[in-house]
A and B are shown apart, each in its own frame.
Chain A
């Protein structure tokens, strides 16, 4: 059974720092991996989607990598800003194209 783990559960860093959020999964047979952002009380916003054949995707200050063989993905945020404060969720699409979710990392960027 696929399991997705996100470490750390919470992270607080000063503004301007580069940071990495981690996501690991137990079964490498995935269709894709998606990173989402969620602000308090709001829905989920898709940040990046990495297809199973890809190694990384970039969007602005965000870069997500995927290593299927080791069951890992990282979300790199460059030059963090207070507006980046949110909960970040990763999810893998399994062989049935169902999403298996991590519990999220709550990120706080201190001004």
Chain B
């Protein structure tokens, strides 16, 4: 089975801190995604990547950046954390575009910014 591993289940950070959320997948998937999930707003795509060193903005990229130096690892960076970034963050991976294979998600990171 594909595994998508997020490094932390729970994080508490202070306003203004630089925060790194790490995601690793073990099935050589080309595509990786970062979502945030908030009550009443559902899942919203922050950034995604179709290949190493490649990134694309999703629907809500403001305040975030990403890094993909290796195929298996996709990092989400909050340059200066703010309280409105308190949320559940979900990482996902999938095989390359054009195939009929689905997404696999990690277990999520609950981030609280105080």
Contact of B102 among A42, A46, A53 (CB under 8 A): A46
Contact between B42 and A36, CB atoms less than 8 A apart: no
- B-side contacts of A53, CB under 8 Å: 100
With contacts defined as CB atoms under 8 Å apart, how many contacts are there between chain A and chain B in the complex? 48
Is the C-beta of B90 less than 8 angstroms from some C-beta in chain A?
Answer: yes
Given the interface contacts A31-B100, A32-B100, A41-B110, does A104 sit within 8 Å of B42 by beta carbon? yes
Contact of A52 among B6, B100, B104 (CB under 8 A): B100
- A-side contacts of B106, CB under 8 Å: 43
Given the interface contacts A31-B100, A41-B110, A51-B100, does A98 sit within 8 Å of B45 by beta carbon? yes
Is the C-beta of A79 less than 8 angstroms from some C-beta in chain B?
Answer: no
- A-side contacts of B94, CB under 8 Å: 97
- A-side contacts of B6, CB under 8 Å: 43
Contact between B102 and A44, CB atoms less than 8 A apart: no
> In residues 39-58 of chain A, which contact B (Cβ within 8 Å)?
41-46, 49, 51-53
With both chains docked as a complex, state the minimum distance between the C-beta of B99 and any C-beta of chain A, in angstroms.
8
Is the C-beta of A88 less than 8 angstroms from some C-beta in chain B?
Answer: no
With both chains docked as a complex, state the minimum distance between the C-beta of A32 and any C-beta of chain B, in angstroms.
5
